[in-house]
Amino acid sequence: MYEPLVVEVWGKPAGVVLKEGNTFRFHAFVRPFTELDGTEFNTLGHARLAAAKLQPAPACRPQA
């Protein structure tokens, strides 16, 4: 049995990925990642990339 793997985007949890046979199924925690809920990916990296595409990078603040 495989352990669930937490997927983070910009340091915040997006969901977990469970290995099912030869695929990885994404289970979302919060929006906007619910769009991927139940989606199967060939690799864990593909799941992470898909989640990252749904959440833009946080804006950088200039230091004072």
How far, in Å, CA of 6 to CA of 40, rounded? Answer: 15
In degrees rounded to 5, what are phi and psi of residue 27?
-125, 110
CB contact at 8 A, 47 and 27: no
pLDDT (tens digit, 0 to 9) for every residue of the chain, 64 residues total?
678 999 999 999 999 999 999 999 999 999 999 999 999 999 999 999 999 999 987 776 666 5
> What are the residue ranges spanned by the domains of the chain?
5-54
* Predicted model pTM: 0.83
* Cβ-contact 4, 44 below 8 angstroms: no
